[in-house]
């Protein structure tokens, strides 16, 4: 949030009130707003008030406040929308200003399926490698060559 910064940052503008947002919660170091492209109803972004690209560039106090804000709003989501759980992740590739995604998630919805697919992918190399076992390969060759 320094004056010399040339680049325009939409999250800095929201934090300072120059840009509009649906504000949900505010604390000393964090501001929680609705995401304008929600995955589910109530999908929020937890912004740090300080402009840093990555969440791990915050001080300990700022980090604690950011996650406390996420915790407060997640509990409100659980009470209000009764999702199966509230999903949280931090990435920051598209807008280089620290923000946590806070998303009410239901079993089988798009995010749940996406992360299930990721987990399956994570586990698949071991399963695929096991198929290359020489004894298994010999067995498969025998089964297919002897099949009628």
Identify the residue among 12, 14, 69, 77 touching Zn ion (CB under 5 A). 12
**Residue 65 C-beta: closest distance to Zn ion, Å:** 17
Identify the residue among 55, 97, 103, 105 touching Zn ion (CB under 5 A). 97
Q: How many angstroms separate the CA atoms of 1 and 7, rounded?
A: 11
**All residues at 6 or more sequence positions from 111 whose CB lies less than 8 Å from its CB, including other chains:** 39, 40, 87, 103, 105
- Is 11 one of the binding residues for Zn ion (CB under 5 A)? yes
Of residues 18 through 47, those in contact with Zn ion by CB under 5 A are none
DSSP, res 70: H
Give the nearer residue to Zn ion in terms of CB position, either 19 or 118: 19
Where are the alpha helices (H) located in the chain, listed in sequence order? 10-16, 60-81, 110-131, 134-146
Q: In this chain, which residue has its C-beta nearest to Zn ion?
A: 9
Residue 31 has a CB neighbour count (10 Å cut-off) of 22
**Residue 9 C-beta: closest distance to Zn ion, Å:** 3
- Measure the N-to-C terminal CA separation of the chain; round to a whole number of Å: 73
Give the nearer residue to Zn ion in terms of CB position, either 92 or 111: 92
Identify the residue among 33, 51, 58, 65 touching Zn ion (CB under 5 A). 51
Between β-strands 30-34 and 85-90, what pairing exists: parallel, antiparallel or unpaired? unpaired
- Binding residues for Zn ion, rule: CB under 5 A, are 9, 11-12, 51, 97
């Amino acid at each position: 949030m320094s004056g010399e910064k040339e680049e325009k940052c939409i999250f800095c503008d929201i934090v300072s009130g120059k840009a509009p947002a649906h504000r949900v919660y505010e604390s000393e170091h964090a501001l929680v707003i609705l995401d304008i492209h929600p995955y589910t109803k109530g999908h929020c972004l937890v912004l740090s008030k300080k402009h840093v690209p990555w969440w791990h560039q915050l001080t300990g106090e700022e980090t604690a406040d950011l996650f406390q804000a996420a915790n407060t709003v997640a509990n409100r989501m659980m009470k209000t929308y009764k999702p199966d759980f509230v999903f949280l992740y931090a990435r920051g590739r598209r807008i280089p200003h620290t923000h946590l995604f806070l998303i009410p998630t239901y079993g089988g919805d798009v995010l749940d399926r996406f992360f299930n697919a990721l987990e399956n992918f994570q586990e698949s190399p071991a399963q695929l490698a096991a198929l290359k076992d020489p004894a298994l390969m010999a067995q498969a060759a025998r089964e297919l060559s002897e099949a009628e």
